[in-house]
Amino acid sequence: MSRINVSISFDRKLYHQDIAGSKAHADMLHRVGLLTAEECAAIQQGLDQVHQEIEEGRFVFKDEHEDIHMNVEARLRELIGAPAGRLHTARSRNDQIALDFRLWVRDACDQLDGDIRALQAALIDQADTHADAILPGLTHLQPAQPVTFGHHLLAYVEMLGRDRSRFADCRRRLNESPLGAAALAGTPYAIDRQMTARALGFDRPMANSMDAVASRDYAQEFLAAATICGTHLSRFAEEIVLWMSNQYRFIRLSDAFTTGSSIMPQKKNPDAAELVRAKVGRLAGAFTSLTILLKGLALTYSKDMQDDKEPTFEAMETLSLSLAAMTGMVRDLSVNREAMHRAADSGFITATDLADYLVLHLGLPFRDAHHITGALVKLAEDRGCGLADLSDADLAAAHPGLTGDARSWLTVEGSAARRTSEGGTAPDQVRRQIAAARERFL
């Protein structure tokens, strides 16, 4: 029973939130006349000491006290005696854990906001340095159109911006205090829930005491947001792995972020990126695990809910570490602009530009332009040459109005530079987006 029941091994993580909640609760009990000034002072002092002992690693957590709440209270009793017994007036471990965990998830949202912002800052700096570096933009992993590296990186800045707003939404919605719900039904004592809510930085008390002790949707929401963010990191990590590969050689990571092989001396493996790519599985697993834990649970509290913590804690650690690793890699990476350019300048990547030329200069409907360009691509492919290598006669044969002038539209730089539409890949446009991103995110 003890082995399956005890939670102190992991919920000790909540000591800070637990003690902050108890201090606010004690103040409130005093204010409404349920604790004398002396009792309240003793409790405050005792709780401060417990907090300090834990911070300094001197606190002895005991399985016999089951969880963080009873460990703290037991030590408080050792320290101050009888008044410790009054702290739990008008409170239950049910609203206590609901409070502690909510506060913890709120802190996690705040920390992640900073972690994600740091990655955005690193990306924006790299984007700034390489606003005009050309690389192949892909669809289906096939060369599609030339893009700039700055533009590519800014795509992740946007995704991460939405991740931040998801955590901010989660934080906004969870910021109501469950304290005072007591076991589930409320309490006969004349407590002041507004006061404790305010003291703990909540917007208001939760409206329904049963909801207060039974709900963990804020943790689900947190894990959903973490999973989505992890998905973004995983995609970016995969790109780092690709870009690092011998076939691409678009970027280099220093030894700080790669590992060698115990057998192949030439190896420089992007292990950190591979691990970030993998970690999203744990995040999705945490979300799934909590969701399955909660489904079908009748109101209100059931001990099942004790199992909400480990996946959530683990997910937070995983995501925070992944973000740190990505930030480190982005700051560390050096760009091989020549390799990117070489890769971009192949595979008929400017075929769309030729079609656009036919539309803009000869007034053709895009569908016809697409068809004519397709025929020229086929011709060049058969000849084993590029579009720009086709002769004037070849061009004229495809369409009488098509002259050598069109070749100026076939360079990868030109192709990128012309994409000046809002949000497009042209270096000038990217620099504008960088300035805007700094304003919005940093």
Minimum separation from the CB atom of position 176 to ligand ARG (A): 19
Phi then psi for residue 300, to 5 deg, are -110, -100
CA distance 67 to 6: 6
The two three-digit tokens of residue 378, written as one number: 């086929």
Phi then psi for residue 130, to 5 deg, are -120, 40
261 is catalytic: yes
286 Cβ neighbours under 8 A, 6+ residues apart: 223, 226, 227, 311, 312, 314, 315
Minimum separation from the CB atom of position 183 to ligand ARG (A): 7
Would you say 245 or 302 has its CB closer to ligand ARG?
A: 302
- Active-site residue among 165, 245, 261, 334? 261
**Helical (H) or strand (E) element with 146:** strand 142-148
Minimum separation from the CB atom of position 306 to ligand ARG (A): 4
- Residue 423 is given by DSSP the state T
Minimum separation from the CB atom of position 324 to ligand ARG (A): 28
Would you say 95 or 345 has its CB closer to ligand ARG?
A: 95
CA distance 280 to 227: 6
State which residue has the least CB distance to ligand ARG: 306
Would you say 7 or 352 has its CB closer to ligand ARG?
A: 7
Would you say 108 or 305 has its CB closer to ligand ARG?
A: 305
361 is catalytic: no
Do 149 and 179 touch, CB atoms closer than 8 A? no
CA distance 176 to 182: 15
Residues in the chain: 442
Would you say 216 or 232 has its CB closer to ligand ARG?
A: 216
Q: Where does this chain bind ligand ARG (CB under 6 A)? A: 7, 11, 67, 93-94, 97, 303, 305-306
Minimum separation from the CB atom of position 311 to ligand ARG (A): 13
Q: Residue 204 corresponds to which amino acid?
A: R
Residues forming the active site: 140, 261
